[in-house]
Structure 1
Amino acid sequence: MAPASHRTKSSGPAPPSKTLVLDNGAYTIKAGFSSIGGATEPKIIPNSIARDRDRRTYTGSDLEKCKDFGEINFRRPMEKGYIVNWEAQKEIWEHEFFENKSELYCEPLETGLILTEAPNALPQLQTHCDQIVFEEFGFASYLRCPGPTLNAYNDIPHHFFKALAREATQPLLPAEIVVIIDSGYSHTTITPLLQGRPIQAAIRRLDIGGKLMTNYLTRLISLRQYDMRNDIYLVNEIKEATVYMSKDFKADMEVTWKGPKGDRRPLYETGGGIGKDYVLPDYHNTTKGYVRDHDPTNAGKLKKMQTGKSAEAAEDILTLRNERYAVPELLLNPTDIGLRQSGIAQLVMESLSCIPFGLWPGFLANILVVGGNANIEGFLWRLNDEIRALAPTECFVRVGRPEHPIISTWNGGAELAKDVDRLASMSITKQEYEEFGAGWVQRKFNGQ
């Protein structure tokens, strides 16, 4: 039987010289090294293996070499936030971290690893992950933890009050009380943290993320304008460039209402300040689309050909109206598409219902949104408004986000890696794994 804490500062192997912090997201990997002297900026790597229409294959960061994203196919190792295809995941990791020419090349025997996972992962998936890390790659030390918990090691007060910043001389302590809303590609999770530890019974999950919203936008565009079902990558770019969270959903619906059948309203034709035109790339002259204000005189290539203009001079244009705000609205109202789940605001209150009421003011005043969906225009304002409507009147509600929400989890891991003693107490060494086995590792990471 393993002792509770058998490693001291004077015993056991020396800590690794550097730590690879790996926020392994379903859409992108945020990866970089952190050491006592400081941390580099993370590299954002597509977590996919892609093949274009010419059957060229792009692994991870090679995707930036692709010039034609039309009908490109992706193979992703993660589903619903969990690694389910280790064959593909290992291929991406080996390409990014273990090839001599790679930017983030490392020698596993001399490197520690901090690896994120989604909250409430299945034990079988966790055990398989531990085996891959130690038996396939052989990292010197290893910490597997839910991604949201690493955000507690960031300077949380600074996200709400920019004038306040933690001094470098202050000891690293996790945030005392904070709710992390992590909304990424696969799903959205609500995780209350107390002294840096998740309150397990209060964790909530919403099966809506960037992937579902992209698929929903693809369906709307394909029904109303062009068939975009084979251009998911392009639709994702359109989504990121155009969507916003409405401050008044009913009012925006009124503006973008077409009108009675056969009688289009002038406000609809002009766009009413909401309509935007997205100029599609042709992958010959342009490889990147762009957004501009809606111009009713531009009606696409077909009408330009009919008026005598050459097809080469024409543009393929998507006009987006209520799609812009109807797609992100799913985060707050999943029932709009028949998904029988609560929206984020309701889930926050459901999460707090598992916590003593005396802690509610602290949690409601420290709600931090991270992940790619935190960048949606108007999301924080609307979420703050929705939660305030549900929270007790005596509680102050405050919702904030980091300056760079996509890499916030990685930044927290990099801060933790600078505290060698704290990280060592939380990590497992390869020697310990070989001595005590996978079951002991599982119990330690689960706080048992």
Structure 2
Amino acid sequence: MGTTKPRPSARESAPKVQSLPEKTFIIDNGAYTLKAGYASESPPTNDIDQALSACSIIPNAIAKTRGNRIYIGAQLSTQVTDWNEMAFRRPVEKGYIVNWEAQKEIWETSFFDEKTVRSKDLRIENPEDTTLVLTEAPNALPTLQRNADEIVMEEWGFGGYLRCVGSSLNAWNDLQSLFGDPVGQEPGPLVSPKECLLVVDSGYSHTTVTPLYRGQPLQRAIRRLDIGGKHLTNYLKEMVSMRQYNMVDETYIMNEVKEAVCFVSNNFANDLEQTWQGNRRRGQPDSNEAITVDYVLPNPNAGKKGFMRPHEPLSDAKKRKSILSGAGAEALSEDVLLLGNERFTVPEILFTPGDIGMKQAGIPDIILQSLSVLPTGLHPSFLANVLVVGGNSLIPGFLERLKRAAADSVCRMPRKGSAPSRPHTFHVAWGVPNGN
């Protein structure tokens, strides 16, 4: 009789789990910029500047100048001096990577090529010894997700790889200091996500509201507004081109103008009344001066960048006088945009998209729509932990307007059962901008 071989134990027969590489590289692949860097081994410090020093911001675009010179990624931040009529090619559209040919070129230049990487701390020398964490916008199409997974692993072969919704990483951050939580927690070896967090991400391509429960996005409650920083820039281009200079081809310059002069009004009707030129004809005091500003366009020939300055009503007369006196060469070379109600009507479309004919709800309303599909008992927890990220959150007045408008919307929410003894607390904190 033959001897039977002993059967292996369950522990021996179980496949061995391969450990992940120690180094973790994170890419927040936004439509306007990439935010990338190695994850630190120690927890982030209370010094926000030190914590952000490991993160590099890189333009996510390939650009061509009037002279047909090509700039890729980080080269746009360091080598370009003339932005006039610059043409951009962006691999991300509507928040999703749709052009991997361009995206690969930007990644290679920014992270892999030793000759072009901006910093040694940003270079990925051995992808097989690195874990990649790649963020994506919510509700990405499965085809786009498969394309990303295949290209990342086939082109570079990372030792570990995670693709996740960008907002989900916010739940793992140190949010106590942002929200001013009076209940202190001792730092321990285990890190846990915030239990309830409502992330409002207003970036370049769109604005999303993502409720997170213990770090996991609640898919059915995610809401999206198809307006982002790109739409604000295009809207400003149209307004200025109709009223003053033709700036249709000056996307970068008008984006700089937007970031320098725009603000979110907390009293739109009042500010619009102040900037109405009819007030002057009716003999009313001119309160327009507090809102109207001049923006001096950049002059690459003179090496001058664009800048905002207080509006001078008599600037045209002074300019003509200096020209007649023969001392106006510098004044003659200045091209100035006069910006009044454009400053606040442009970002207003984030709150009232109907102003430009879009049949979508504004940011406060999509917050309300997101909450409406969640259990009523969770509403107070989400409303007490609202985190606002994205480049548009940097617009002056954005947080104040969002807090007031969303609180008003929440008070009008229909509630099942008996009314609570007091309204929900609406607590907003600002986080590090993402860039979808």
Query: Is the pair's TM-score, using the shorter chain for normalization, greater than 0.5?
Result: yes
SS at 2:200's partner residue?
strand
Q: Which residue of 1 aligns with 2:232?
A: 213
Cα offsets for 1:124-150 (capped at 9, x unmatched): 000010001111111111110111111
Q: Is the 8 A contact 1:255 1:267 kept in 2?
A: no
Matches within 5 A, 1:136-175: 136-161=155-180, 167-169=186-188, 171-175=190-194
Partner of 1:281: 298
Deviations along 1:318-358, one digit per CA (max 9) or x if unpaired, are 11111111011111100000000000000001110110111
Q: CA deviation at 1:301?
A: 10
Judged with a 3 Å threshold, the aligned counterparts in structure 2 of structure 1 residues 121 and 265 are, in CA distance, closer, same or farther, namely farther
Mapped contact 2:319–2:328 kept (Cα < 8 A)? no
2:20 to 5, 15, 26: 15
Q: Tell me by how many angstroms 1:169 deviates.
A: 3.4
Which residue of the partner structure matches residue 85 of structure 2?
Answer: 71
**Of 129, 136, 139, which aligns to 1:117?**
136
Q: Distance between the aligned counterparts of 2:304 and 2:129, measured in 1?
A: 41
- 1:259 has 2:278 as partner: yes
Shift of residue 276 of structure 1? 1.1
Distance (Å, rounded) in 1 between the aligned partners of 2:410 and 2:192: 29
Find the partner of 1:45 among 58, 64, 75. Answer: 58
Partner of residue 310, structure 1: 328
1:248-299 Cα offsets, whole Å, 9 max, x none, are 0011011000117x9486755x733011111111112234211111111223
Query: Is residue 271 of structure 1 aligned with residue 285 of structure 2?
Result: no
CA contact (8 A) 1:300 1:317 kept: no
Q: In structure 2, what is the Cα distance between the partners aligned to 1:300 and 1:75?
A: 42
| Residues matched between the structures, number | 399
Note the aligned Cα RMSD (angstroms): 2.5
Does the 8 Å contact 1:300/1:316 carry over to 2?
Answer: no
What is aligned with 2:427?
398
SS of corresponding position for 1:355: coil
The amino acid that maps onto 1:110 is: D
Q: Deviations over 1:8-43 (max 9, x none)?
A: x99433321211100000000000011434675211
Structure 2 residue runs without a partner (length 5+): 1-10, 44-50, 412-421
**Contact 2:199 2:386 (8 Å CA) reproduced:** yes
Letter in 1 for 2:30: G
3-state SS, counterpart of residue 245 of structure 1: coil
Instruction: Report sequence identity in percent.
Output: 48
- Equivalent in the alignment of 1:96: 110
Letter in 1 for 2:312: D
Could you list the runs of 5+ residues in structure 1 that have no partner in the other structure? 1-5, 410-448
Structure 1 contact 51–58 (Cα < 8 Å) conserved: yes
- 2:196 and 2:181 map into 1 onto residues whose CA distance is 19
Under a length normalisation based on structure 2, what TM-score does the superposition of the two structures give? Answer: 0.86
Q: CA deviation at 1:405?
A: 3.0
Q: 1:82 aligns with which of 96, 115, 130?
A: 96
Structure 1 residue identity aligned to 2:92: M
Query: In terms of mean alpha carbon deviation, does 28-37 or 360-369 score higher?
Result: 28-37
| Residue pair 1:258, 1:264 contacting (<8 A) in 2 also | no
Q: Which amino acid aligns with 1:55?
A: N
Distance in 2, matches of 1:128 and 1:384, equals: 39
Q: Is 1:381 the counterpart of 2:394 in the alignment? A: no
Q: TM-score, normalised by structure 1?
A: 0.84
Counterpart position of 1:321: 340
C-alpha separation between the residues in 2 aligned to 1:253 and 1:303? 31
Q: Is contact 1:77-1:89 (8 Å) kept? A: yes
Give the letter aligned to residue 249 of structure 2: N
Structure-2 residue corresponding to 1:295: 312
Name the structure, 1 or 2, with higher relative contact order (CA <8 Å, separation 6+): 1
Alignment-derived partner of residue 178 in structure 1: 197
What is the letter of the counterpart of residue 283 of structure 1? P
Please state if 1:189 is matched with 2:217. no
**TM superposition shift of 1:165:** 7.0
Give the aligned residue type for 1:294.
H
Q: Deviations 1:365-411 (Å, cap 9, x if unpaired)?
A: 11110011111111111111111111136211111212x3348x9xx
Per-residue CA deviation, residues 190-249 of structure 1 (Å, 9 max, x unaligned), is 000111111110000000000000000000111111110111100000000111111100
